[in-house]
Chain A
Amino acid sequence: MNNNEEKQLKKVCIICAKGAIEDVYASLVLANGAVMEGMEAKLFFTFFGLDAITKKQMKKLHTATVGNPAMRMPGGLPFPTILGMLPGVEAGVSAMMKSQMDKLDIPPVDEFIDMIVAGGGEIYACKLAMDMFKLKKEDLLDDVSGVLTVGDFYAMCGGENTQIIFT
């Protein structure tokens, strides 16, 4: 066998540690894309990423309008940071982003997670971060398969042609 031969990816383990819309969606798109290709996908939510699987927070994800140099006005002009500080602006921008995604058939977070689980993907939460944020298993989506330590997570990431992705 040729050692340089490219082997097909079989499993991805994706870590979502941030709770902004774009960070969460990056993880969800990667995980869903993997199950769509017939690959195994395991999603591990930690720190602020936990918002994405916390019932109370998951529908309220925002994108940062302050400290985000790639932020643009509709039309392409730079988005003044001072504008991003005004009350309601972040919510408005976030709502606009969500409506744009909906047009591309990108579902809301809860539905997206349902899709991933329906495709055989698995969702896990980080024990340490849950302790830190005083979250209980009941606060999380029912789709969450378990609360793990980092060691448990690594134990799941073994096997040939597996990649760990941190978003």
Chain B
Amino acid sequence: MKEIEIAGVTVQVNEEGYMTDPSQWNADIAKEFAAQAGIELTDKHLEVLKFLREKHTEGKTLTIRAIGKSGIVDIKGFYALFPGGPLKVSSKIAGIPKPVSCV
């Protein structure tokens, strides 16, 4: 575990750069992480991030299938929003741990 400075605050991340304490997260951090991944956040992105954070708080395992069924975005749309590994990329931006799901 290490600490990084992002969007003017210091947060804890793991070796792969995923935040380890979701409560340290805020919208500015999300924006900064998104920029690092080459993504400009839109309202749709934010809706997905909110959904991910809610599910994480509920202790659910996040899957691409669950996001497809969330009613926010379909699976194709999810891939388009977060290119290059959508579940991982979105989890990082949402400030939650790296997903452990295989589906």
**Interface residues, chain A, CB within 8 Å of chain B?**
29, 32-33, 35-38, 104-107, 111, 114-115, 118-120
* A35 to B: closest C-beta gap in Å: 8
Q: A36-B64, A37-B85 given as contacts; is B76 within 8 A of A118 (CB)?
A: yes
Verify B84–A107 contact, CB threshold 8 A: no
Query: In the complex, which of the residues A37, A38, A105, A120 contacts B103, with contact meaning CB atoms closer than 8 Å?
Result: A105
Whole-angstrom CA separation of A107 from B76 in the bound complex? 16
Besides A36-B88, A104-B103, 19 more A-B contacts (Cβ < 8 Å) are A29-B102, A32-B64, A32-B103, A33-B103, A36-B85, A37-B85, A37-B88, A38-B83, A38-B85, A105-B61, A105-B63, A105-B103, A114-B75, A115-B64, A118-B68, A119-B64, A119-B75, A119-B79, A119-B86
Query: Taking the complex as formed, is B46 at the interface, i.e. its CB lies under 8 A from any CB of chain A?
Result: no
Give the Cβ gap from B88 to chain A, nearest Cβ, in Å.
7
Binding site for A on B (CB under 8 A): 61, 63-66, 68, 74-76, 79, 83-88, 101-103
A-B contact pairs, 8 of them (CB 8 A): A36-B88, A105-B61, A105-B103, A114-B75, A115-B103, A119-B64, A119-B75, A119-B86
